[in-house]
Structure 1
Amino acid sequence: MLLNTPICDFGAPAPDFSLATPEGATHSKDSLMGQNGLLVAFICNHCPYVIAIIDRLVADIKTLQAEGIGVACIMSNDWADYPADRPEHMARFAATHGLTAPYLVDADQSVGQAYGAVCTPDFFGYNAQGGLQYRGRLDDAAMGDPTGRVPELLNAMRQVAETSKGPQDQTPSMGCSIKWR
């Protein structure tokens, strides 16, 4: 089911979380917060929208991390009904695509619900004070053609790092609905 995310609620605080990777390493919002902010990305393994953008997303994540922005990727889907999203598959997905951010298991879906995540991918960009400043898409590229893309998420997070404020004009992310229990 194709969904659009809500517009940015500027300044909304980042909900706390403590989640583990499939390998058992635990990360929290505070441990991942970078000196210049935090990006929380809700993704999953099976979504065609995530699969279409994953290589661009990984490249942008690496750039953001190098610029002092922390990143968390969170999988909130019900993997009982969507076994491709099981934690052991998450670890392979992350390794296959060279994901440098922790890919965290939201087993009880409480973190996805606390953030108000709607779809995969769904991006939440916070300034260093923990206020929401970006709730938009990765870029303007068509599903299969990233030629000449404008990296909207990357540009927005750079602006947030520099000014603590996100762009006023943001295009919502689009993707498959999160699979709630």
Structure 2
Amino acid sequence: MAKTESTMLPLGTTAMDFYLKDTNSNDWLSLSDIRGTKGTLIVFICNHCPYVHHVMEEIIMIANDYRVQGIGIAMISSNDATAYPQDGPEAMTEFAFNHTFGFPYLYDQSQLTAKNYDAACTPDFFLFDSQDLLTYRGQLDDSRPGNNIPVSGNDLRSAIDGLLYNRQISPIQRPSMGCNIKWKKISS
């Protein structure tokens, strides 16, 4: 596990479309299928990362709290499933079931979506407004495995609330931190 920070995609970036298989439902979904009326939250995760496990319960609570308020939500795993089979589609289906995901868990086999979003770690959070413009990218909160700070979701919740209630979202945002995305090795 290599501790990695978000690359902090520039605010105002337009959400890139994708067409990925949902391992939770077996459907193929695009950004327009995920998009919420008030905004869209895309989170890059994987099954085995201890940083993801540390915050998974809060991510699910956020999804459940905000889906009903018009925020579309999807999780995406982009890890190389050949090198990391625990992050492959079948394991993703089991992970989604075990964590009672009520939202899509998409498999980015080509890793193109992660590259388009400049995703670097798991978890990596991207919040877009109703016009598909990036309004928040960064950490869930200050909690990390072993630092004894309780998981609260404060940073992400504050950004989502700002979007929903038309409040200014601070442009000063701290990067998320987690395991690096496991990129496929390019053979020469």
Could you state the TM-score of these two structures normalised by the residue count of structure 2? 0.90
User: 1:63-111, CA deviations, whole angstroms, 9 ceiling, x for partnerless residues?
Assistant: 1112110001000000100111011110111111111110001111111
- Paired with 2:103 and 2:48, the residues of 1 have a C-alpha distance of 18
Q: Which residue of 2 aligns with 1:15?
A: 16
Superposition CA RMSD, Å = 1.6
Q: Which residue of 1 aligns with 2:56?
A: 54
2:113 matched to 1:99? no
- Paired with 1:5 and 1:71, the residues of 2 have a C-alpha distance of 19
**Match among 152, 159, 168 for residue 162 of structure 2:** 159
Q: Larger deviation: 124-133 or 5-14?
A: 5-14
- Paired with 2:28 and 2:34, the residues of 1 have a C-alpha distance of 11
Q: What is the correspondence of 1:36-51 to structure 2 with a 5 Å cutoff?
A: 36-51=38-53
- Paired with 2:97 and 2:81, the residues of 1 have a C-alpha distance of 19
Are the structure 2 counterparts of residues 165 and 40 from structure 1 closer, same or farther at C-alpha, using a change threshold of 3 Å?
farther
- Paired with 1:61 and 1:30, the residues of 2 have a C-alpha distance of 18
Identity %: 38
Q: What is the correspondence of 1:73-152 to structure 2 with a 5 Å cutoff?
A: 73-143=75-145, 145=148, 147=150, 149=152, 151-152=154-155
- Paired with 2:87 and 2:168, the residues of 1 have a C-alpha distance of 34
Q: Structure 1: any 5+ residue segments left out of the alignment?
A: none
- Paired with 1:168 and 1:36, the residues of 2 have a C-alpha distance of 19
| Amino acid aligned to 1:62 | N
- Paired with 1:71 and 1:150, the residues of 2 have a C-alpha distance of 15
Residue 165 of structure 1: CA displacement?
5.2
Q: Is the CA contact (8 Å cut-off) linking 1:128 and 1:164 kept in structure 2?
A: no
- Paired with 2:93 and 2:168, the residues of 1 have a C-alpha distance of 34
Q: Structure 2: any 5+ residue segments left out of the alignment?
A: none
- Paired with 1:102 and 1:78, the residues of 2 have a C-alpha distance of 19
| Amino acid aligned to 2:173 | Q
Q: Is the CA contact (8 Å cut-off) linking 1:41 and 1:123 kept in structure 2?
A: yes
- Paired with 1:161 and 1:147, the residues of 2 have a C-alpha distance of 25
Residue 151 of structure 1: CA displacement?
1.9
Report how many aligned residue pairs link the two structures. 181
Q: Larger deviation: 55-64 or 162-171?
A: 162-171
User: 1:14-36, CA deviations, whole angstroms, 9 ceiling, x for partnerless residues?
Assistant: 00011111242111111111111
- Paired with 2:153 and 2:124, the residues of 1 have a C-alpha distance of 18
Residue 2 of structure 1: CA displacement?
0.7
- Paired with 2:27 and 2:168, the residues of 1 have a C-alpha distance of 31
Residue 150 of structure 1: CA displacement?
5.2
| Amino acid aligned to 1:169 | I
| Amino acid aligned to 1:163 | N
Q: Is the CA contact (8 Å cut-off) linking 1:127 and 1:164 kept in structure 2?
A: no
